[in-house]
Structure 1
Amino acid sequence: MKFSRFLLWTMKVSICIYIFLFGLLPLVFRYSYQVQKKILFLNFVHWPVGVDITKPETVGMKGTRNFYLTTDENVKIGAWQILPQSLMNQTIPDNEEAYEALLKNASRPVFLYMHGNSGNRASSHRVELYQLFQRLDFHVICFDYRSYGDSDNVDLSEMGVVHDSKFVLEWLIKIVNNSAPIFVWGHSLGTGVSSHVLAILASNGINPAGLFLESPFNNLADEITEHPFAQVFKHLPWFHWIIVQPLYDNELRFESDKHIGKIQCPVMILHAEDDNVVPFSLGEKLFIAAKALHVDDMQRIQMTRINASYGLGHKYICRYKDLPRIIENFVTQSTAGEKI
């Protein structure tokens, strides 16, 4: 008798879980724009925990200042300026004006970093990449989109984060004023942001020296479909209608495979075969699309495939032993012509 009751209870619980997972939860996702944005941007995931991001030195960043920009939409953006190694061997500036003067008179390449979802500019894998840039003697600007880190907590959207990023890049172009080449580096969701930004600027004749796309996807629809969390749902007949279509309808698209056709600067795609967040196949699709859209100048589009044996996954291409050489070679090739 007890076993029968237990079996009945187990069946009821299983049915409830099934209804929740395959009925209620998908419907909530389809009809709630707020839920869609939360799951896509993960801006509520605050890590690292207990770190004061206004003090970059607490995460090991030397020669770095914290500062803020206010966009033309009146959104405050938190950012860091990181000095190249050669300038750290001199006296570190003690005020914002002195830091900015070093950027205005930059003689080494300047990198603008656009991060992926969750966390903030102080997240550990991002800090590892900044430190690599610093060792390579590059200036670095990194920042948090709206609703990330200590940037203003305002409504998120694709165009919102694109606008923030475009504003920061335009500010950087104005500050550097042709003294040094500017490169944009996007990671994960940041590849969708950076591709969109550069496509918009290219239409106005503004092009950085080059674009690095680390662990990119070709478009959000394919990324959602291929994401590990979607595998249990993707073969169900309602998947596209409930999960993919609402994002598209709400203009959460990040269609890098379209935007990349408008980008006029050299592009380097970096992707690890063992990426379990953005499958390698999506980076390859983006590469193929880019080559097809730039058929008259295909050599500007490059891709580096990183063997799974290195175990770098989605976040740690910064540890790839050949990455410094790849970056330096690409920078040299891209700056053979004119600066931005």
Structure 2
Amino acid sequence: MKSKYYYIIFIFLLILTSITLDILYTKIITFCVITSLVVFYLVCATIIPFFIRYSRSVQKQIVFLNKIPFPINIDLKKPETLGINGARNFYLHTNENVKVGVWQLLPQLYLNENKIIDDDYFDNVLSNTSIPIIVYLHGIFSNRALDHRIGLYKLLQKMNYHVITFDYRCFGDSDCADLSEIGVVEDSQYVLQWIMEKVKNNSTPIFVWGHSLGSGISLHTLAQLTAKNIHISGLFLESPFTNIADVYRGTIFYKLFSFLPWFYWSVIEPVDKQNLKFQSDKYIGVIKCPIIVIHAEDDEIVPFKLGEKLYNTGLQLHGMSTNNLQMISIKSTFNCGHKNIYKYEKLPEIIENFITKCSPAVKLDK
């Protein structure tokens, strides 16, 4: 009988020990997790901001993200290996002697298997064309070979437009010179003016398409060209923003740490002092050519409200006139986000209508 009681007591003590250990283990795990989160938060709140404050290279990486090696194992010299037909790779050297990697895509109607398509052919077509040329300025990260960028090139090519795209300094296979807002704007300005000089037909429509950060580079570039009385036919702004400071304010990092008294001093002010401002809300008022803003409501990288704010600012700066400024909002149900607008089923119609409005004399054999 006693052994039975001893057995019950033993089981009870075993269960009690198990529960105690379980509670203790849970508390230890909880303590470790909370401690890790506190340490992580303190690092993000103190060490990282001060590191950003005193590291110019980190400040630039925050804005450009140009050193991320993706996609990997690609040869930018051979666009055909990426599924792009009727394209060539070549290099330009800017006034600062910065080598810039460029792709030129021919309109679909020029792709004839019976023709020898060499560099002379590309040059001749570009020099003598009357078909619209669209110059694409990409955003942050990687190079001219990202999938969504190639997707847009192919769409424009299929619509029988010339496409020219390039990598700014320190992107892709372009030379790594001083990376700055002024630097990428000078690269863009050089490529645009090279195209204008290359095209013999002065009536050939030339458009610029700027995506994300490329929208800010586009507006700054065209503002400088406008000051020289040089104008293009029209400007596409895909997923644009007002300025870099506003983009920062929409990030999770800003929302978590902006209450810290040293946040502006350590994160915002250094970038501002490097003139990495990309003040699209300033330059949009200078541009004389027609502008179309295209933004998806489900954009989680550059919030839709920033594109809308830029559009409204543009209207105010242009006397509330919609003659040269329009905006296309894409509903969230289409799942276009930040980089899939090229898949939007109505995009070809939007592009064609805008180009026709800007250059009504252009007729394409499609």
Task: Work out which of the residue numbers 249, 271, 282 in structure 2 matches 1:247.
Answer: 271
The CA distance in 2 between the partners of 1:10 and 1:87, in whole Å, is 62
**Structure-1 residue corresponding to 2:122:** 99
Amino-acid identity (%):
46
Q: Is the 8 A contact 1:106 1:179 kept in 2?
A: no
> Any idea what SS the aligned residue of 2:104 has?
strand
Answer with 218-227 or 264-273: which moved more.
218-227
Matched, 1:124 2:160: no
Q: CA deviation at 1:228?
A: 4.0
AA aligned to 1:116 is G
- In our comparison, the structure showing a higher alpha carbon Rg is 2
Q: CA deviation at 1:39?
A: 1.6
AA aligned to 1:265 is C
Q: Is the 8 A contact 1:228 1:277 kept in 2?
A: no
The CA distance in 1 between the partners of 2:167 and 2:43, in whole Å, is 34
**Structure-2 residue corresponding to 1:145:** 168
> Any idea what SS the aligned residue of 1:258 has?
helix
Call closer, same or farther: CA 1:13–1:74 in 2, change over 3 Å.
same
For 1:7-18, list aligned pairs within 5 A.
12-18=35-41
- What do residues 7-44 of structure 1 show as CA deviations (whole Å, max 9, x unaligned)? 66556544432221111001111222110101210011
The CA distance in 2 between the partners of 1:323 and 1:10, in whole Å, is 48
The CA distance in 1 between the partners of 2:37 and 2:91, in whole Å, is 50
Q: Is the 8 A contact 1:158 1:251 kept in 2?
A: yes
Q: Is the 8 A contact 1:77 1:151 kept in 2?
A: yes
Answer with 165-174 or 219-228: which moved more.
219-228
Q: Is the 8 A contact 2:102 2:164 kept in 1?
A: yes
Call closer, same or farther: CA 1:326–1:241 in 2, change over 3 Å.
same
AA aligned to 2:322 is M
Q: Is the 8 A contact 2:45 2:260 kept in 1?
A: no
In structure 1, stretches of 5+ residues that fail to align are none
> Any idea what SS the aligned residue of 1:34 has?
helix
Q: Is the 8 A contact 1:192 1:255 kept in 2?
A: yes
- What do residues 118-142 of structure 1 show as CA deviations (whole Å, max 9, x unaligned)? 1111110000000000011000100
Task: Work out which of the residue numbers 35, 41, 47 in structure 1 matches 2:58.
Answer: 35
AA aligned to 1:125 is H
The CA distance in 2 between the partners of 1:12 and 1:308, in whole Å, is 39
> Any idea what SS the aligned residue of 1:298 has?
coil
Call closer, same or farther: CA 1:22–1:229 in 2, change over 3 Å.
closer
Matched, 1:227 2:251: yes
Task: Work out which of the residue numbers 90, 104, 108 in structure 2 matches 1:67.
Answer: 90
In structure 2, stretches of 5+ residues that fail to align are 1-20
Give the aligned CA root-mean-square deviation in angstroms.
1.9
Q: Is the 8 A contact 1:29 1:242 kept in 2?
A: yes
- What do residues 58-93 of structure 1 show as CA deviations (whole Å, max 9, x unaligned)? 111000000000001000000100000110136454
> Any idea what SS the aligned residue of 1:206 has?
coil
Call closer, same or farther: CA 1:277–1:7 in 2, change over 3 Å.
closer
Q: Is the 8 A contact 1:208 1:265 kept in 2?
A: yes
Q: Is the 8 A contact 2:222 2:287 kept in 1?
A: yes
Answer with 316-325 or 228-237: which moved more.
228-237
Q: CA deviation at 1:249?
A: 1.3
Task: Work out which of the residue numbers 284, 289, 292 in structure 2 matches 1:265.
Answer: 289
Give the TM-score of the pair, scaled to structure 1: 0.94
**Structure-2 residue corresponding to 1:86:** 109
**Structure-2 residue corresponding to 1:312:** 336
AA aligned to 2:328 is T
Task: Work out which of the residue numbers 194, 205, 217 in structure 2 matches 1:193.
Answer: 217
- What do residues 101-133 of structure 1 show as CA deviations (whole Å, max 9, x unaligned)? 100011210000000001111110000000000
